[in-house]
Structures are given as C-alpha cells and as structure tokens.
Structure 1
Amino acid sequence: MPVHCVINKEKILNILAGVQNITNKKNTIAILDNILLQLENSLLTITAIDMEVGLQLSIEAEEMAAGSITLPSKKLYEIVKVSSSDTIEIKETENNWVTIKAGPSIYSLAGMASAEYPLFPRREEEKSIKVPSVLFLELIDRTQYAIADDQENMYSLTSALIDIEEKDGSTLIRMVSSDGHRLSLMEKAADSEILKLKNESGLILVPRRGIQEMKKYCEGRDEVEMSLENDLLFISDDKSMLAIRLKKGEYPPYKSIIGVIQKKYQVTVEREKFIESLIRSDLFTRDIYHTIRIDLARDSMIFSSENTELGSFKEELPVSYEGENLTLGFNCRYFIETLEVMEGEKVHMYLDGQDSACCFTSEADQGFLSIVMPMNI
C-alpha cells in the first residue's frame, strides 16, 4: 500500500542530518544512496545502511496510509532543510514517486521500491548489556585521531581495537589505535557485564567510520545498550539502533610495542605551552612529514625547523629534564594531535635515547598513553 503521512519537520530533519555520513558516499549500489521509510501504527522508521554501518531510527507520524518506500537521502534532506513549514507531508503516488508538501511548496521526488533495500541486521535482545555512554566517548575521544586512513596497506590499522580483560580482580576495557607511525591507548575500568562483549578471538576491530558513527550515537545519550553478535556490534536505545560490521584480521601486538619503551629519560612540560611552540615550529617544516628538530638539555627544550625557500624557526621552552643532551626528530603534527586530546596542565614525555620512540602520559589522564615514532633529521 502506498505510504502517506505527515511528520514534524525538526524531528525528521535531525534524523536526515544524522544519516548523511552513511548515505552520502560513493556507493557502488545505487539504492544505498537512499533511505528506507517504513510507516506502521503511526510510527515512521527510517533506515540508512551501507556495507559497514547501518542506522535505524523511529519517530511518531500522522498516518494516513501505512507502507514503505526508499527515497534519495541527500535530496530529501535538502528539501526538508529549506522548508518554511513546521510539518512535512509525504505521499506515494505511482511507480515509486512521492509528492512532498511543505507549506506552499510541492515537490515530486523519484524513489525506489523498498523490496530492493538491504535488510537491516537483527540482534538477539537477551545478549545486550547497558553501558554508560560516557565510557565509550572517553575511549573514542582519546584514540580516534590515530586510526589509519583507508589508504593504509595494513587492513586492520584502519580500525580501532577494543580489548576487554580481567586484571587483578578488575574488568578493564581498552581502545587502541595506530597508523603505524604512532599508537594511542585509553584504558578504563568497567562493570564486569562488559565481558559479555568479548568474542572468541578476543579482537573487536571497529572500522574508522564505525567509530565515527559510534561517537555520534553516544553523544546526547546517558546510556546505551550494546551487544556483539558474530561480526556485528549493535548499539541501541528504545527508539533507534546502530549496527557496525566489524573487521577481521590480526592487530599489531600493542602490548609488546609499549613494553619496548623503558622510559629511561623523563621530560615534564606544560601542555599548552608545548602545543603553542609546536604550532609555531610547524610554520617552517619543509616536507609532508612535518619534521622538526628538538634539542634536549638540562631543563631546556629547543625547537627548530627550516625551509630553504622560506626561512627558519627556533624557540626555547623551559622544561623539567635532568638527562643527557639529546637531539631528536619528530613529526610535530603527531605531537600536537596527541597533546590536544590530553588533559592536565603538565604532561610527561619519556624517551630511551637519541633515536627512540616517545611516550606521552599525564597524571590527569589516568589510563591514557600515546607513542610517537621518531623521524630522521
């Protein structure tokens, strides 16, 4: 039966805005550019799905005729966004066309049959657990920046690793990310119920787009329900559900990588001043790697960068350091991005020598650790 309903503009606009990152992609399957609208019992369910992520949300609607159809996500969003009316009327006519009325404006929009739309994954309700949203928001905020781009050759690095384990009578959940040049880890204590999210392999690899949607979903919600079934991670509340298809593969042994750093030398520095000096240093970096030179001496850190065509930069920053003199090369952008997600006035920077990786921690960031690999200068 052709669908016909009237819906609140602001409610559907919020939903349409939230699904654009899923549907507004270069999909090889044309119908994935559309959203599925299903109307039943005065409830309009909207589904957006691609090969990695699916999102399903429901809002109340004034129902004239139940039914379902798929419509172009971007164009429907544009129509609703510029509408001057408080309500939007959608009425299916013939051959999957719909008439959209918004105040004095009338639009005709081509859709596609709902039967062609992929099925949204189903989950088993009894397997889900309730989790405070803030737990995953903290994990994501501290690690998302270091996930590798999709061009990365090592497939698993385009995901964030979720690792759950029991240690010394406590249940810990970690999120780890790495692009091969740096590694970021955030660890939090959690209720033992979170152990139900562990799978047989112990590896939960959430793709980068899944992490992005996971963050958006958790924001504005105090609590969510989560479950892990086969290769799918489900996150939901009473009116919506996010499904993320997990990646398969081996993740680098992050514990071994962390264990290599012996923390022979410690530098303590004011975080904000450190960031400001790095930003200034980056003005004269001469390559795509944003390489700067750092000279460490007792209670002193000197930044320098040079561009043969533009000029050079040098600045000294007071720090707390009592080790031997060291000359270091690092990508200053990696330092900046790490320091920007950290908290607290001061951070600790650990090194083992001239060509060692650098490890960042802070007393204000319990559970957080970041490693940046060195560069040749």
Structure 2
Amino acid sequence: MTLAFNVSRLDFLTALAALQNITGKKGTLAVLANILLESDQEGLVMTATDLEVGIRCRIPAEILSPGSVTLPARKLFELVKESEEKHLHLEEQENSWVKISAESSDCRLSGISADEFPSFPPYREDNLVAIPTALMTDLIDKTIYSVAHEGENNFNLAGILLEKEILDEGHFLRMVSSDGHRLSMMEGKVETDLSSLEMDRVILIPKKGIQEIRKLCDEEETVLLGLEEKQAVLKAGGYTLVVRLMSGDFPDYKGIIQVINKAKHIGIDRRKMMHSLKRVNIFTEDRYNAVNFIIENDKITLSSQNMDYGSAREEVPAGYQGESMEIGFNGKYFYEALQVMDSEKVKAYINSEESPCLLQGDKDPGYLSVIMPMKL
C-alpha cells in the first residue's frame, strides 16, 4: 500500500531538524540523503543514517494508509520549515513521488523506494543503563574540543575513548580525547550500576556520534546507554541513536599523565589568562598559534609575533615562586582548555621548559587537560 498521513507541522519539523544532519554526504549512496518515513500502529516512524550514525524517532500522526517511502532530507526540511500551516498532508503517489499539501498549497517531492534504505541496526534493550544527561553533557563538553579532525594524525584519535571504572566508592564513567598535541579527560560518578555495560575492550566513539549524543541530552534528564560489540545505543525522549564504534587502540593516556610531577604548581586566574590569550592569539601564525610563556615570580609574560601583522605582549599575575622558565604552547589549545572549566583559580603543573602542562581546578572535579610544549 502507499503511505498517506496527516501530521502536525511542528512535530514533523522538530523531528526533521534532529534527523536531517545525519543524512549521508554527497558521493555516498543516493538513498542515504533521504529520510525513511514509515507507518506503524502508534504513528509515523522516521529514520536517517549515514551508515556510521543512525537515528530513529516516532511522532504522532493520523495514518490514512500504511506504507513507507524515503524523501530527500534537506528539501523536505526546507518545505516544512517554510510552510505556514499547522497541519500537513503527505500522500505517496506513483514511482515514489509524494504530494505534500496544506490548506492553501501543495507540492510534489521525488522520493526513493523504501526497499533501498538500509535496515536500522538491531540492538538489545536489556543492557541499557540510565545515565544523567547532566553528567553525559559534562563528559562530552570537556573532551570533544580536543578530538583530532578527520584525516589528521592517527585515525583512532578522531573519536572519544569511553571507559568505566568500578571502585569501592562507586561507579565512574570517563571520556578521554587527544589530537596528538593535547589531551583532555573528564570522569564523573554515576549512581547507576554500570556492571551491565559491556566495556571489556576499547570503546571509541566517532566525533559525529558524540555530537549527536550531545544533542539528545539537551531536552531530557536521563539518557539510556547501551554498548554492544560494534555499536553504542542511546535512547532519550522518543529518539533512538545507534553509533558504529571505531576499531583500534587509544594512546596510553595514563602514562602521559603520570609522568607529570605535581609537587609544585602555578596558580592562574582563569579569566585573566583567557582574556590575555585571546588578545595574544590574534598575532600568532594561524597554523601553529605559537605563544611564548615566560614564567617568573608572581607573573607569566605572554608574547606572540606574526610576520605580516605585528606582535603582542601581555603580563598575567600568577602564583609562582621558583626559577624562571621560558616555554612555548599553542595559544589556541591553552585557551580552549581553560574555556571549558568552571574554576576561577586554575593550577598549571609545568616541570621544566620541555615538559607538558597539566591543567586542573578545584571546581572541576574529574577534569584535567594536558598540553604539549612547542619549540619556538
């Protein structure tokens, strides 16, 4: 039978907005640029995938004739977005053409048969664990900024490592990311029992999947998380997200952290340092963003130089007593690490002029950032 239904424009638009960014890019299978629309007993089921990330949701609809069809995601979203009506009528016609009509308008949109659309990956409901979205967003926000870009460095760094740790004092979730030049880690305690999460191997979630998980957390207080051999599953607010996991190993981040001596630290006012870095970064060379740090008693002097535009120099108060050091860091990396923190006072652990910098703050429990030095 051919699909026909009436639907609230607002419900339809909300779902399309969530799904359309998942659809495949040009050069992939043509049907991956489409959204699958299919009826069931409870309403309209909508699915999008790029074979790496798949998302499915169900919205209320008056099903006039059961069936299924796929329509181009971007065009359908634009049509619904620009409509001024409260309700829309969609009706499949010959050769997967669909008529979209309202009280004062109608149009026809070319679709592709639902038979060509990939099947949604099956998953197990029994191993889903409830995670507070406040924790999930904190884990993501404090690690996603240091994920490597696709095609840059090691392929395995283009995602985030997810780990669990079960200790006497409780169950913890941890996310770690690195692009080879910096590393960020965030962990938090979970009241839920994490024993059922299958994490006896390296769990690497691609950046796009992490971004979609983050979006799912915006409207709900809890997300259901499940981990299987090749995929992560999340459910929240009527949406089901399935993300294909990356394969391979992740660098020994614990070894990197452990080599940093934390006997002494430099006390930094986070906001003052961020404002100074923002100004100094204007004069860095775009590719490396190199900033010179001269660390002396009670202050850090930041400086940068651009052959085309000029130079900048800033003095920032710092809690430090010891031998002076001169060291280079990527100013953009330093700024981004400070930007995700809540602490007003930040501790910077730098052992020598060639050692990495570890950043931590008392108001950011579970978080740390490591930034590798640069030769200037």
* TM-score higher than 0.5: yes
> Which residue number corresponds to residue 231 of structure 1?
230
TM-score (norm 2): 0.97
Q: Deviations over 1:19-53 (max 9, x none)?
A: 12211523511100001001122500000011210
CA apart distance, 1:156: 1.1
> Which residue number corresponds to residue 28 of structure 1?
28
Does 1:369 find its partner at 2:368?
yes
Does 1:301 find its partner at 2:300?
yes
CA contact (8 A) 1:268 1:319 kept: yes
Tell me the secondary structure at the aligned position of residue 13 of structure 2: helix
Paired residues for 1:260-279 under 5 Å = 260-279=259-278
In 2, the alpha carbon distance for the partners of 1:141 and 1:159 equals: 14
CA apart distance, 1:318: 1.0
> Which residue number corresponds to residue 352 of structure 1?
351
CA contact (8 A) 2:156 2:247 kept: yes
Cα distance change, pair 27–20 in 1 and its aligned pair in 2 (3 A): farther
CA contact (8 A) 2:35 2:72 kept: yes
In 1, the alpha carbon distance for the partners of 2:130 and 2:264 equals: 43
What is the identity, as a one-letter code, of the residue corresponding to 1:184?
S
Tell me the secondary structure at the aligned position of residue 180 of structure 1: coil
Task: Between 117-126 and 229-238, report the one with greater CA deviation.
Answer: 229-238
Tell me the secondary structure at the aligned position of residue 104 of structure 1: coil
> Which residue number corresponds to residue 252 of structure 2?
253
Q: Deviations over 1:84-109 (max 9, x none)?
A: 11111100011111100033121111
Paired residues for 1:171-182 under 5 Å = 171-182=171-182
CA apart distance, 1:265: 3.8
What is the identity, as a one-letter code, of the residue corresponding to 1:87?
H
* % identical equivalent positions: 39
> Which residue number corresponds to residue 57 of structure 1?
57
Task: Between 1-10 and 187-196, report the one with greater CA deviation.
Answer: 187-196
In 1, the alpha carbon distance for the partners of 2:226 and 2:57 equals: 18
In 2, the alpha carbon distance for the partners of 1:42 and 1:310 equals: 62
Runs (5+) with no aligned partner, structure 1: none
Task: Between 97-106 and 189-198, report the one with greater CA deviation.
Answer: 189-198
CA contact (8 A) 1:24 1:74 kept: no
Tell me the secondary structure at the aligned position of residue 54 of structure 2: strand
Task: Between 189-198 and 72-81, report the one with greater CA deviation.
Answer: 189-198
Tell me the secondary structure at the aligned position of residue 19 of structure 2: helix
In 1, the alpha carbon distance for the partners of 2:285 and 2:73 equals: 43
> Which residue number corresponds to residue 140 of structure 1?
140
Cα distance change, pair 104–157 in 1 and its aligned pair in 2 (3 A): same
CA apart distance, 1:313: 1.0
Q: Deviations over 1:101-151 (max 9, x none)?
A: 033121111111111110001112222222212121110011010111011
In 2, the alpha carbon distance for the partners of 1:369 and 1:42 equals: 46
In 2, the alpha carbon distance for the partners of 1:223 and 1:11 equals: 21
Task: Between 24-33 and 40-49, report the one with greater CA deviation.
Answer: 24-33
Structure with the larger helix share: 1
CA contact (8 A) 1:264 1:351 kept: no
Tell me the secondary structure at the aligned position of residue 35 of structure 1: strand
> Which residue number corresponds to residue 116 of structure 2?
116
In 1, the alpha carbon distance for the partners of 2:216 and 2:333 equals: 27
Paired residues for 1:1-377 under 5 Å = 1-23=1-23, 25-191=25-191, 193-201=193-201, 203-237=202-236, 239-377=238-376
Runs of 4+ in 1 over 4 A off after TM superposition: none
In 1, the alpha carbon distance for the partners of 2:105 and 2:229 equals: 47
CA apart distance, 1:227: 1.3
In 2, the alpha carbon distance for the partners of 1:291 and 1:194 equals: 42
Task: Between 212-221 and 151-160, report the one with greater CA deviation.
Answer: 151-160
In 2, the alpha carbon distance for the partners of 1:358 and 1:29 equals: 45
| CA-based RMSD | 1.3
What is the identity, as a one-letter code, of the residue corresponding to 2:365?
Q
Q: Deviations over 1:194-250 (max 9, x none)?
A: 23223332x211000010000001111111222112211111146221101111101
Tell me the secondary structure at the aligned position of residue 262 of structure 2: coil
In 1, the alpha carbon distance for the partners of 2:295 and 2:307 equals: 24
CA apart distance, 1:192: 5.2
Tell me the secondary structure at the aligned position of residue 95 of structure 1: helix
Tell me the secondary structure at the aligned position of residue 95 of structure 2: coil
In 2, the alpha carbon distance for the partners of 1:158 and 1:235 equals: 20
Tell me the secondary structure at the aligned position of residue 127 of structure 1: coil
CA contact (8 A) 1:42 1:62 kept: no
In 1, the alpha carbon distance for the partners of 2:113 and 2:307 equals: 61
TM-score (norm 1): 0.97
In 1, the alpha carbon distance for the partners of 2:27 and 2:207 equals: 17
What is the identity, as a one-letter code, of the residue corresponding to 1:106?
D
CA contact (8 A) 2:24 2:50 kept: no
In 2, the alpha carbon distance for the partners of 1:92 and 1:231 equals: 36
Runs (5+) with no aligned partner, structure 2: none
CA contact (8 A) 2:24 2:49 kept: no
